[in-house]
Structure 1
Amino acid sequence: MIELHRNTAEHLTWAAVQVGALGAVAATTGLGPAGWGAGIGCAIVTLVLLRRSMRRHDRTSLGHADRITLVRAALTAVIAALVVDGAGPAIIVTLGVLALISDFLDGRLARRTGTVSVFGARLDMEVDAFLILVLSAHVAVAFGVWVLSIGVMRYLFVAASWVLPRLRGELPPSFARKTVAAVQGIVLVAASSGIVPHAGVLVACALLALVWSFGRDVLWLSRSRT
């Protein structure tokens, strides 16, 4: 019971961190009602999903790497609020770079401290997926709705797995898959700046790489089931 109360307190603390980050942005760059709504909505969804995931994986506490991932979740919530609010590129790129750095740090810390876990990997993946979705929505304003394909592809894969059980299998570790996933965030943040030449071509190449990566995984899962 004491551990449960501690978990609740920490979860609420992270929700407060997200709201506080929104307040800091609102005080410096401004944030309208739509942005506030999007940001607070992200904070609530993060809190609910975090609690459910910890119960599902029988986790009673968060590790240091998990907390870095939650920092990225807070940054993503702020970026989502800014995108909805139509903010300029400078603040979005700055926060995007910080989010990408945190993505590098949490995995490295988990490996060095021997705290790699299924829960941590899933939390990291879900936060990354939402960050890519938010960034793709922002870049789509400049280059077209096709850019959203980058952000929604992972969610389409999950939806397909509900219909096709063969897609629910465990994929083997892949450096290529990790590289392609990392490239999506880097390219989208670069394209968000508005100063990178031929950014549309870079985004298109990133999308093609992502299609190849998902296609390869789908093919592997189909063959392994067979």
Structure 2
Amino acid sequence: MLRICALFVLVLCASPAAADFIGKVHVIDGDTIDVGDTRVRLHGIDAVELAQTCTDADGADWDCGKWVRAEVVKRVQGKLATCQPVDQDRYGRVVAKCFVNGQDIAEGLVSEGLVGAYAKYSSDYLAAEKGAAVAGRGLWSSTSMLPSEFRLTRVKGRVAPDANCTIKGNISKSGRIYHMPHNRDYARTGINLSKGEQWFCSEHDAQAAGWRPAFN
């Protein structure tokens, strides 16, 4: 009897799950909104960054990041949303599923090709993404770098300070290796000048300085 009572007390004292919340939507970017006073990262999706560009079928670059935000604004800005918390990210944002008039905001955006499913964290919207891709809706009519890869390029040391000198001379356990923009590990490779790593303007310069090409 004592064990049963103790268990009952523990259940009563357990921390309750985060409660749903309601508020008017203010759009920050393609996958982040304010709902009332709460900053929300929409669960299960990933949007191109505001500074990102895409390439259309004719090979022209266009500001797809800003376009996506504008499209999300058209759909949900100022509307009343109900959100169900799922988690909290490292930036302190509430990760949540949010609904306007009973419709899942994230699912609608994925279905229209405005954002992609974030399979790393959820499989909820993979089917909707496949449908948008097959139909060529939204961004699926263009090509672009994955948002996660684009964010890597923005990390210090991963973006060339000179647009004409983009070859990365990296020092690793394998020696001095230079990475061209088409190489597999280019985006994730950072250059630390204090360790003797360098940016090169040509393969000739890199080889002359003692670096060898990456094998991927």
TM score, norm. by length of structure 1:
0.26
Structure 1 or 2: more helix by fraction: 1
Bigger RCO of structures 1 and 2 (CA < 8 A, at least 6 apart): 1
Bigger Cα Rg: 2
Structure 1 or 2: more strand by fraction: 2
